[in-house]
Structure 1
């Protein structure tokens, strides 16, 4: 369901749904994309860096990186295009994080799971020890 929001580019109020900017900025983004794509269609421009593309087309570098991140411009076709890892800022061509950040995150998750498992084993042993110490004995008074 759409909800009212301010456009992050111009500050104008719009109904946020699948689109993240207002209609005017969306049209501007589409014009920027067409400008960049026309520039990249020429064989000699296909290996241009984001900085070179920005300089030639006057489209902001952040906008070009957004096109790459949204997979509108494929690094397979344009090998010099990249965007930043969400964690460390290293330039990458696919995914949300670079390989080292992804590996580090995976190691952290595995370590957390091991710690969690170890904690549950320790707790179980404590419960077993507690149950053993709570043994009750009854005395039969009738037996003499």
Structure 2
């Protein structure tokens, strides 16, 4: 079973190694090829789970209150989420899904920026607009 602590870069390294191994021109029997196919399906499942978890992390940031967002989300957190979203593309995740998550990360970054720079009434309105767009 895949540990929950796997990082995007670890998953990417595993994926690239597996693709390289799978594409090697060797004489393999049917049993080995079936095992390779099964492992590839498991790896793809792990990529889907990791992608979904990344999207959930971003979505969860929209559900926290302003003060919690201000205290818990740093610029480095946002940069890490953006980096993880970019790695999804390298893992073969569809462009549309990568763009969806990247867009959400940008909305979180925008919300955090508003918290620090905008008056309270404007902030509430902007976060409400961002959350509505995210749901669409």
Report the structure, 1 or 2, having the larger helix content: 2
Structures share fold, TM-score greater than 0.5:
no
> Which TM-score applies when normalising by structure 1?
0.28
For normalisation by structure 2, the TM-score amounts to: 0.29
Between Structure 1 and Structure 2, which shows a larger proportion of strand residues? 1
